Structures are given as structure tokens and as C-alpha cells.
């Protein structure tokens, strides 16, 4: 079973958060470097549209062939990536044209980006998608395709825990209404001390556990809701800049890396992409959605899923 899982596209980790500035990009970069240090193939993808803070953290410059812009023009993840310290990164778009495209026409912008994720090369053991803040038409789709949701929020007060829980509730609602609640992704939360002080990891955990219990989320999905609660300490600025700060604290996410690497994503809970795609088709048009467009865009992928299933069945019969 385990072999079969790793032969499939690697684990997709969507980094989500209710508010901007909570530390999603910082955590994505830390995790990317951390996994690379453990000799795992990993790609970190900036899907925060025009916001290219990933470029600052990695201290790299995108170019038209290496950026989300390249994905928009049809490149695959491996070709559009730039490498640093053993990890691959898809930087934010290099040109204003891309940023405008993202805002003026979110769907035509979104389609090739979604294809890049759906067709991610199997050699990447982890694909980390650093999303926009909030639950936009854009972020919900990548969150729904994820095997792991990593919710990053400021640990400053309870309000932020409530906002993070609200976002998880919205995503869970989509799974429930699509009838696939049992496949709800593994949830990791990361309480980030982006300022000194605030709630401890233990307080955050207690608060979340009580919300999970009162809302009956575990009954809805039939398995435990929180896979891990982690804490990132306040990292004071140093003269070495953002990159230096991130590099200096690789060990902080050691536990998170280890939980991910130990493959704590049992087979039956691996998100069934074909079912999620079917669910995405049923999402109500949001004003931005063009009916039919997703069906056309998803057709080739659904064909490859069907072929894979057919091959698997044939292998079983032949054995």
C-alpha cells in the first residue's frame, strides 16, 4: 500500500491562512529548505498571485521562463522552478502583465496553474503551495485538492484561532456537501509568533480542540481532525535579512517535517483527486466561475485517472 502511495504524485501541502502577514510564506520556505535538507525532493509554489514575497525570502529573481508566469504559459512545475539549497521554487510572476492577468481574469489565470499542480511530476515527494490569504475562489480550489492542509496564523490572540477555524469549517463544509467528508485532508496548524508574546501552542491546541468538539467535526469526517499543532517562535530581524533569518531557524520545523516524512497519510485518506474534481464541478458559480470551463479543463486529467484505474484493474486481474 505504501509503495503505491509514493508511486503516485507526491503529497500536496496547501498552506492556508485567514489573514495576510500571518507567516504562510515564511513557513513554506522553512519547510521547503527543511525537507530538502532531509534529501526530499520538494517544490514550493508561489500561488499568492501578484504577491511575490517568496522571491524576497529566497533572494532570487524570477524571469519569464521561471515564475508563475511560465506556468500560465503552459510550462510544467519542474521546468518553471529555480533551485536554492536543494529545494525548488516557483517564484511570483516577473512581469506586471501576469499580475494584471491574475486580477482581471482569475479563471483563465487559474486554469494552467491548476493543471500544473494536477500534473505535478511524481519525482517531487512534496509540493507546497503557498496560497493567498483568505478563502477566495482561487485558494479554495488548491485547498480542496490538498492531501495536507497547513493552516498558518498569528498566535497573538484567540481571534486569530477563530479565523483559522472558520476557514477550516468552510473547507470542511465543501467536503460534506460533496459527500466526500471521509477524505478531508490531514490538518496541521502552525501558531506563528510573528510578534513577541501571544498564545502558547498548548493554548492554541486546547482552543481548537474545543471548537472541533462543539462543532462535531470528527463525527463528520470519521477520523481525527487535527494531525499536528506546531509553534514557530518569534524570529527577531538580523542584518542578514529575511533569507538569513529563515536559514538560521531551519530546525524549528523539524517536528513538522518529521511527521510529514514518516508518511502519516494513510492510504484511504489520500484525497481521491477524481472525486474532488467532480466536487469542484458542483461548486456554485461565484460570479467569477464560467460553467463548463472546468469540465473542459479537467477532461484530459480525468482521462489519465481513468487510464490509471483501468491499468490497475488489469494488473489485479492478470495476477
Ligand X SMILES: Nc1ncnc2c1ncn2[C@@H]1O[C@H](COP(=O)(O)OP(=O)(O)O)[C@@H](O)[C@H]1O
Instruction: State the nearest-atom distance from the C-beta of 240 to ligand X, in Å.
Output: 12
Q: What are the residues binding ligand X (CB under 6 A)? A: 17, 20-26, 53, 192-194, 232, 234-235, 242
Q: Hey, how many other C-beta atoms are within 10 angstroms of the C-beta on 219?
A: 9
Query: By C-beta, is 25 or 127 nearer to Mg ion?
Result: 25
Query: By C-beta, is 25 or 68 nearer to Mg ion?
Result: 25
- Chosen from Mg ion, ligand X, none, partner binding at 135 (C-beta under 5 to 8 Å by type): none
End-to-end CA distance of the chain: 16
The CA-CA-CA angle for residues 78, 81, 82, to 5°, reads 135
Instruction: State the nearest-atom distance from the C-beta of 282 to Mg ion, in Å.
Output: 30
Phi and psi, residue 179, nearest 5°: 75, 20
Output the CA–CA distances (angstroms, integers) from residue 267 to 139, 144, 160, 233, 271, in the order listed: 25, 17, 32, 33, 9
Query: By C-beta, is 153 or 225 nearer to ligand X?
Result: 153
- Chosen from Mg ion, ligand X, none, partner binding at 187 (C-beta under 5 to 8 Å by type): none
Q: What are the residues binding Mg ion (CB under 5 A)? A: 24-25, 48, 53
Instruction: State the nearest-atom distance from the C-beta of 142 to ligand X, in Å.
Output: 15
Q: Hey, how many other C-beta atoms are within 10 angstroms of the C-beta on 226?
A: 17
**What count of Cα atoms within 13 Å lies in the side-chain half-sphere of residue 246?**
22
Cβ-closest position to Mg ion? 25
- Chosen from ligand X, Mg ion, none, partner binding at 22 (C-beta under 5 to 8 Å by type): ligand X
Instruction: State the nearest-atom distance from the C-beta of 231 to ligand X, in Å.
Output: 9
Residues linked to residue 127 through DSSP beta bridges, in sequence order: 12, 43
Amino acid at each position: 500500500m505504501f509503495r503505491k502511495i509514493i508511486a503516485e504524485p507526491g503529497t500536496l501541502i496547501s498552506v492556508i491562512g485567514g489573514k495576510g502577514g500571518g507567516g504562510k510564506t515564511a513557513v513554506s520556505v522553512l519547510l521547503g529548505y527543511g525537507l530538502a535538507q532531509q534529501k526530499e525532493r520538494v517544490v514550493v509554489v508561489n500561488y499568492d498571485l501578484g504577491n511575490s514575497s517568496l522571491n524576497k525570502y529566497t533572494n532570487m529573481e524570477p524571469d519569464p521562463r521561471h515564475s508563475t508566469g511560465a506556468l500560465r504559459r503552459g510550462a510544467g512545475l519542474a521546468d518553471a522552478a529555480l533551485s536554492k539549497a536543494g529545494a525548488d521554487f516557483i517564484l511570483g510572476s516577473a512581469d506586471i502583465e501576469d499580475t494584471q492577468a491574475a486580477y482581471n481574469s482569475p479563471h483563465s489565470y487559474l486554469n494552467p496553474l491548476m493543471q500544473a499542480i494536477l500534473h505535478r511530476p511524481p519525482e517531487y515527494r512534496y509540493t507546497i503551495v503557498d496560497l493567498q490569504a483568505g478563502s477566495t475562489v482561487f485558494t479554495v480550489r488548491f485547498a480542496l485538492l490538498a492531501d495536507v492542509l497547513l493552516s498558518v496564523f498569528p498566535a497573538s490572540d484567540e481571534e486569530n484561532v477563530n479565523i483559522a477555524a472558520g476557514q477550516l469549517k468552510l473547507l470542511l463544509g465543501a467536503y460534506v456537501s460533496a459527500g466526500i467528508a471521509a477524505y478531508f485532508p490531514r490538518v496541521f496548524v502552525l501558531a506563528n509568533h510573528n510578534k513577541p508574546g501571544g498564545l502558547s501552542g498548548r493554548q492554541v491546541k486546547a482552543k481548537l480542540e474545543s471548537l472541533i468538539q462543539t462543532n462535531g467535526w470528527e463525527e463528520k469526517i470519521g477520523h481525527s481532525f487535527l494531525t499536528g499543532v506546531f509553534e514557530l517562535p518569534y524570529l527577531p530581524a538580523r542584518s542578514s535579512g529575511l533569507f538569513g533569518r529563515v536559514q538560521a531557524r531551519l530546525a524549528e520545523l523539524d517536528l513538522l517535517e518529521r511527521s510529514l516524512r514518516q508518511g502519516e497519510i494513510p492510504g484511504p485518506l489520500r484525497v481521491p483527486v477524481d472525486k474532488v474534481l467532480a466536487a469542484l464541478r458542483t461548486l456554485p458559480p461565484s460570479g467569477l466561475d464560467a460553467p463548463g470551463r472546468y469540465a473542459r479543463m479537467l477532461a484530459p486529467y480525468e482521462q489519465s485517472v481513468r487510464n490509471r484505474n483501468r491499468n490497475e484493474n488489469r494488473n489485479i486481474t492478470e495476477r
